[in-house]
Structure 1
C-alpha cells in the first residue's frame, strides 16, 4: 500500500502501518476445509428474505431463525419461528453438530406438528451443504440443500427423496447489536481496499455496531472524503466511531506549525466523518534514551488531547509492546499514564500487545481507573482460541477501566478474514459480554 501524509511524517506513518500489517503476513489464512468450520457459517440470527431471488428483508420477515453455537463452536441449537399475529411462534427446534467419528454433520429435531426427525449430511465445499432427513421410523422424508452466497446469505431448498422441489427460502444473517461490539478495519484491510461498501454491509450483518479505521490520509478514508465515507458507513447501518491517526513529534518551530495544522485538519475531517474518538501510537520508543525525550511526547499528547477536547472529540494513546520497556528504570507506559493529563488524554488498551510486552492488563486497569475508555481485543490467533489470553478476567474490570468502546481485532488468521472476524464477534457476544 502506498501511503503519505507529508514529507515530514512519511516514514513514521509507513512504520506505524507496518506494525499493524506485518503480523498478518506471518500467519497466512487457510481456506475452510473442515466440516465443523464450514458449519459455523450457519450460526447466528437469520431472517427470511422477501423471496428467493433477493436478499432484501421485509419489515416483519415471515421466518426468523436463531442458531446459537455451543460445544466449542462445533454444534448449535436451531430455532425457527414464524411471524403470526404480531409475534414469532416456534415451528421447528433442532440440534445440529459435527460428529468427529463419521466426519459428518448430524441433526436431530422436532417440527411444529410434534414429529421428530434425524438428519445427516456434509459440505461438499464451503458454499454447498446437503442433508438427508429421516423420521424416527427410518423413512426418508426430506432432502435439504444449502447454498451459501456468502456467510451471511444462504438459500435453503427442500425436496422430496425423489427430488421434487417442495419449498425454497433465502435467509439473510443479521446478528444482534445489543452488546455494541466494534471492529478495527485492519482486520479486513485487503477486502476494504477492494470493495468497502460490500465489506461494511457484511460487517453489519455479522453483528458489528461500529467501526474503527487506521487509514486516514490525504484528508480522507479509502479514497473517500469524510462525508462520503460517513454516508457509506451509515448506509450500511454502522457507526464510524474511532480512528487511529499518526503524526510524529515535531522537532522545531516550523515543524510544530505544520504538526498543529495537520492535527487541526485531522480533527475537522473526523468531525465531518462523525467520529467520536481519535487514537495515536508511537513506533519510536525503542530509540529514546531519556525520560526527558519521553516527557516531550507527553507534552505533545496533552496538546493534541486539548485540541480534540475543544472540538468535542475524545483522544487516546494506543499501546503496542514497546511501552513496557524501561527508560532510566521507569516503565514507559507507567510514565505516559502519569505524565499526561487525564482530562484530555485517555488510553486505548491493546490487551494483546500488553500480553506480548509481559504486562498484566488488570494491573493497569486497577491502578489507573477510568483512563481506558477503549480496548483492542485481540489474540494470538482467532479471538479466544489461543488459550493464552484471559479475556474473562480482563472484562471483570471493564467498569473500573471506564470501558465504552470494545473493538475486536483479528490479524493472525487461521481462516479467511471475514470468517475469523465473525468468530471474533461470536466469542465476544456469547462468551464475554
Structure 2
C-alpha cells in the first residue's frame, strides 16, 4: 500500500474499477466451485447444523482447469463418500464436462456450462446413454451456491444449499483494503464471505475518528467475530508533526490507540510517504524518535506497534539505507516491523536477508504480488516460505491491490495459493 490514506483509496478505487467485472472464461467460472462446502439445514437458509447432512470437498487440479469432487453424507454416525466426480473445462467443445460415480456404482457423464458468471447448468447421462439427472447451480455469492435437481420432464425434484466452510488452521489473515469497495458497500456481508473463505483474522485500513466502517470499536469487533474471524491488526496514519505540533500528534495517537484497544487488536501499524524528502540523518532520526514515542504509547495499552515498508525505505541518506537505520535506531521493545514482500521485491532487496539479520524485529508480513497472489511469476514465493535460517513473522496477511477478476474472487485465489501451495 502506498502511504497517505487518501492517495491509497484513490489508487485502489481506480484499480478495482479496472478489474474485470465478469469472470469471463468457463474455467474461471468453474473455479468458484473449489473449496470445502457443507449443506445448510435446508435450501432456504444459510444456517448450518453442527453435523451437516452433506460435506463436499472440491479440489482444484490441472492448473485450475479441473476440479476433483468428493461428496460425503452423514450416515449411521459417520460421513461416507456417496459421490466422486471429475469436472473440467473441455477446450475442444468449449463445454464443462463431468465424469462421476455414485455409491451404487453408476458412472455418469455430464455436459453443460455457465450461462452467466453465476448460473451453471449440467445434463447427466449414464454409460448407456440414458438420462440420469439435470442439475442447475446458482452461485448466490462467492461462498454460497444453490443446487437444484430436475428429472427428465424438467420437474424440480430436490434442492440443496451449500455454504463454503474452508479451514482456518493455517492462521491466514486478510488486509481489508483488498476488498475496500465491498467493505464500504456492505461490511457485514463482506466479512461473512471472507470468514467462509478460510481467513482467520482481518487487518483494517479505515480507522476514522473512533470508528471502523462506521461502527464503534466494540461493534466492529463483534461483527468480525460473528463472521468467524478475529480483528487482530490495523493500519493508521499521522504524518510526522512539526516540532510545535508534537503534542497534538501524541494526543491523536493516544485516542487512536485507546480505540484500538477497545476493539481488541493485537497490533497497530503505520507507513510513511515523506521519506523521499529526507536529506540527512538528523531528519531521519526524528522519524525514529516519532516511532519510538508511538510504540511506547501502544505498549502501555498492551498493543504491539510496527512500521510498514514500501520501496522508498530502501533509498540511501548519507550513504545509509533508511530501512536499516530505522531498524537499528528504534527501540525493539516499542517498535517492530511489518514486511511488505511486494514492495521489497520492487526495491530489489531480499526479505530473507532482513529476517535473518534482524531476528525478532518482524511482527507481521504482507503477502502481496503483482495482481493475484502467485500470478506474476516474479517473486520466488517457494524460496521465501521454505526457509530454515529464520522464523517467519507471527502474523501473515494476504493482500491484493491490482486485479484480473472481481476482488472477492481474487482474495479467494490468494487464500488458496497460500493454503494449498505455500503452506502445504
Tell me: CA distance 1:79–1:128, structure 2 relative to 1, closer, same or farther (3 Å).
same
Residue 24 of structure 1, CA deviation: 5.7
Give secondary structure in 1 for the equivalent of 2:211.
Answer: coil
Give secondary structure in 1 for the equivalent of 2:112.
Answer: strand
Tell me: CA distance 1:14–1:217, structure 2 relative to 1, closer, same or farther (3 Å).
farther
Q: Distance in 2 between matches of 1:65 and 1:304?
A: 48
Partner in structure 2 of residue 42 of structure 1? 33
Q: Which one of 93, 96, 102 corresponds to residue 102 of structure 1?
A: 93
Give secondary structure in 1 for the equivalent of 2:115.
Answer: strand
Contact 2:234 2:265 in 1 (8 A): yes
Partner in structure 2 of residue 371 of structure 1? 361
**Does residue 293 of the first structure (1) align with residue 283 of the second (2)?**
yes
Partner in structure 1 of residue 11 of structure 2? 22
Q: Distance in 1 between matches of 2:382 and 2:391?
A: 14
Structure 1 residues not aligned, in runs of 5+ = 1-12
Q: Distance in 2 between matches of 1:299 and 1:397?
A: 33
Residue 14 of structure 1, CA deviation: 8.2
Matched residue count? 420
Contact 1:369 1:402 in 2 (8 A): no
Per the normalisation by structure 2, the TM-score is 0.95
Give secondary structure in 2 for the equivalent of 1:125.
Answer: coil
Q: Deviations over 1:225-269 (max 9, x none)?
A: 11111111112221100000111222224x121111111111111
RMSD value, Cα = 1.7
Q: Which one of 289, 309, 317 corresponds to residue 307 of structure 2?
A: 317
Q: Distance in 2 between matches of 1:212 and 1:123?
A: 35
Q: Deviations over 1:175-195 (max 9, x none)?
A: 111111111010111111111
Per the normalisation by structure 1, the TM-score is 0.93
Query: Which aligned segments of 4 or more residues in structure 1 are displaced greater than 3 angstroms?
Result: none
Q: Which one of 204, 210, 222 corresponds to residue 231 of structure 1?
A: 222
Partner in structure 1 of residue 181 of structure 2? 190
Q: Deviations over 1:22-74 (max 9, x none)?
A: 15625711011100000011111111111111121112110000111122222
Q: Deviations over 1:142-165 (max 9, x none)?
A: 111111111211111112233233
Q: Distance in 1 between matches of 2:11 and 2:355?
A: 28
Q: Which one of 42, 50, 64 corresponds to residue 51 of structure 1?
A: 42
Give secondary structure in 2 for the equivalent of 1:300.
Answer: helix
Q: Distance in 2 between matches of 1:399 and 1:156?
A: 49
Q: Distance in 2 between matches of 1:422 and 1:303?
A: 38
Contact 2:179 2:407 in 1 (8 A): yes
Contact 1:366 1:397 in 2 (8 A): no
Q: Distance in 1 between matches of 2:135 and 2:12?
A: 41
Partner in structure 1 of residue 78 of structure 2? 87
**Does residue 125 of the first structure (1) align with residue 116 of the second (2)?**
yes
Residue 21 of structure 1, CA deviation: 4.6
Q: Distance in 1 between matches of 2:10 and 2:382?
A: 27
**Does residue 411 of the first structure (1) align with residue 378 of the second (2)?**
no
Q: Distance in 2 between matches of 1:66 and 1:116?
A: 19
Partner in structure 2 of residue 158 of structure 1? 149
- The answer to which of 17-26 and 192-201 deviates more is 17-26
Q: Distance in 1 between matches of 2:349 and 2:55?
A: 44
Q: Distance in 2 between matches of 1:69 and 1:308?
A: 43
Partner in structure 2 of residue 6 of structure 1? none
Partner in structure 2 of residue 180 of structure 1? 171
